Structure 1
Amino acid sequence: MEGVAALGEFLRTCRTGMSPAAAGITEAPSGRRVRGLRREEVAQLAGVSVDYYTRLEQGRHTSPSDSVIDALSRVFQLDAAARAHLADLARPPRHRPDPLPPQRVRPAMQQLIASMTDHPAFIVGRRTDVLASNALARALLTDWTRLPPRHRNYTRWVFLDPQAREVFLDWPAVAADVVGTLRFYAGRHPDDPRLAELVGELTIKSADFRTWWNAHQVHERTHGTKHMTHPAVGPITLRYEALSLPGDPDQTLFLYTTDPGSRSADNLRLLALMAVPSVAGSSDRLERG
């Protein structure tokens, strides 16, 4: 899926999407017949030869130095996540001898998120697989425990479950970001067959996913705001924090909170009163490959 062509595809997307004016190039509109920047312009701005940059785009050279990565990141005005993605794509190909081991959430983390009865919390693993969630997260989003193991994936739910489009009031922004997150993971783990399987399924079944995936945008979730609604309690605006778990590689804890005293806080509290007592103290325990 990623292979030697991925670096070239990413560079071409950056080049054609880059405004000449933003790059500091002034030219009469009638004098430009290509979208974005020309290869020779990128090469000049990055301080490399046109032949070298052309070979990068064509996949004939796949291991640029850190200085070249920094120069291209500057030319394309990449943010930290996109710069890291470019560096991932530029790494020499790796061949994993064994499949990735199944992911498990430690019992202590299970107990921790189960104890958070006032805040939705869930743990996401490789390729956005949902590994664990508390009762309030399942009430707010979906009950992952009722899905087949292969379907317990956040990206898959966002694109293939119609309920997700109703839950997120800003669904297009949420969906585009999650595709960017999956693209970021793809650059870091290009040899993950389960990821290739997921991308293939979503590409076939969702035109929206196909459009955003082909755009090669990269997103790393750290914190932000979600605008949601629930049929039982109404609109809820939540702030989220994405916390990497240092002792558990490729696992991220997502914690949702609301502003104290807000209508969203009241609505979330009502949802907790409705949802949590029926499964008091419970948290699903999943295992994913």
Structure 2
Amino acid sequence: MRIPAPVAIGTVLIWTSGYLLGALAVDVVPPYLLTTVRLTLGALLMGAIALVTGARRPRGRLLLHVCVAGVLTQAVQFAGVYGGLQAGVPAAVTALVMALNPVLTAVMVTGLLGERVGRKQVVGLVLGVLSVVAVLGERVLEVGLDAGSLLTLLGLFGFAVGGIYQQRFCSGADVRAASTVQMAVSAPVVGVLALFEDGTVTDWTGAGLIALWLVLVNALLGTSLYLEAVRRGGARRASSLFSVVPAVTAIAAWPVLGELPSLGALAGLGLGAAACVLGTSTAAEKTRVAKDPVPRRDRAATVHPG
């Protein structure tokens, strides 16, 4: 099933804003403190929503799986991303690294969940990689894998592995309750790191406004949109939306961060858009026979991107 255009566009724009604001935030607040505050506020707000709407709480083994997926997709992802931003990794470069998620996701769901990859999806994944290369340009060759880049790669690992783990083991969990649990268990994990990091808050007003945006828009609205994308198209197709985020981030960084977009960013935007169209479309493959139905866990998942 194709992901609706409003869902796809909204996911891309909200995710882009997260990188831009993250780059601004780490200049005025330590990254792990920011992540801890974001997860704590997100857990409180989502918890209130879950309570009011009567969300069914995960229990037993499902609760354990939800916690594991949450630490990966929340604590590991955002600790890596924000840590990398503070270490000097530009927002556009961070988006580029995270855009490799579709490739990792496609490989893992093919091997672990038995999903089939059609020709259009393969072409879309290739274009997604090319979009990353086009936007990144010569910077990776110049900078190499420094500490900031390694932290960003750690964030990519957490997002990709956590998403697949959740699709595999947490498909029966209520989205609202699962999101609450995941942020709640991740906040103290990152909070421990915050105790040992250097730096203090230099702009409480700016830090507070950014934190509110990251929680209300990125965590809550972004979660809803991305979950809808996963529900409509599956984890692999939904993850391909991030192929276009690097180019959009690079272009938006001009007015927001004062960074001029390169020709590579413009080329990456076109390649990323094509990757999204192909990667989120339904493959023109033969219909599976009744004895080989699509597994339930491949039709729906509860992945929380933050």
Normalization by structure 1: what TM-score?
A: 0.25
Looking at secondary structure, tell me which structure has more helix per residue: 2
Give the number of the structure whose alpha-carbon radius of gyration is greater: 1
Looking at secondary structure, tell me which structure has more strand per residue: 1
Question: Which of structures 1 and 2 has the larger relative contact order (alpha carbons within 8 angstroms, sep 6+)?
Answer: 2
Normalization by structure 2: what TM-score?
A: 0.24
